[in-house]
Amino acid sequence: MTPAELLDYVTAHVPSLTALPLADTRGQAVVMAARDGIEKALSALRDDATTACDLLADVTAVDYLGRTPRFEVVYQLCSLSQRHRLRVKVPVDVPDPWVPTASGLWRSALWAEREVWDMFGIRFDGHPDLRRILMYPEFEGSPLRKDYELARRQPLVPERDPIERPWLPGQEP
């Protein structure tokens, strides 16, 4: 299925999705979804036999500082059986950036959503273990936001030996 055929099928069968023009997306199939309907849309894309998006390759975010809405959460979906890819974008605005979790549909979302939370500060409602994954627990701010101060001082933390005192979920660091 070509990207154009995929976009035609997806927009016809999942009405909450809006296709972006192929010329603007460098020939890749890209759709936009509202935050309210993203759970149903992702579920439909996974469960439909024609789209069969059985692999969530990545979840990431983009910060468009100065634009409204400011953020886009981006899902990279693949169908191994149908051999096509689909990118799903969800606009998210401040001051309370959040989207529902996709971890109930794909287990690969567990780590990717934690990374987006850690780097951009976008919360995934319903995520079973939303905590920092790349930065240390006391880190303040979201380092991939475009308004993050590069010279910002972080709180001093004591040196830790990961063998003597490992960081386990639910324990104070």
Q: Is residue 139 part of a domain?
A: no
Domain-located, residue 8: yes
Q: What is the CATH number of the domain that holds 79?
A: 3.30.460.80
6's CB contacts (< 8 A; 6+ apart) are 29, 51, 84, 86
User: Which residue range is the domain that position 23 belongs to?
Assistant: 3-109
Domain count for the chain, please give it: 1
Q: Are the CB atoms for 24 and 3 separated by under 8 Å?
A: no
Q: Report pLDDT for 116.
A: 98
Q: Is residue 131 part of a domain?
A: no
Beta-strand relationship, 30-33 and 84-92: parallel
Beta strands in 23-80 (DSSP E): 30-33, 55-63, 71-79
Instruction: Let me know if residue 83 belongs to a domain.
Output: yes
Output the pLDDT for position 68: 94
Alpha-carbon gap, residue 29 to 72, rounded angstroms: 16
Strand pairing partners for 72?
Answer: 62, 91
Instruction: Decide if 165 is inside a domain.
Output: no
The rounded average pLDDT for each run of 10 residues, N- to C-terminus, in the chain (173 residues) is 94 93 90 95 96 97 96 97 96 94 96 97 96 90 93 82 72 59
Specify whether the CB–CB gap between 51 and 82 falls below 8 A.
yes
The two beta strands, 17-19 and 71-79, are unpaired
Alpha-carbon span 148 to 107, nearest angstrom: 30
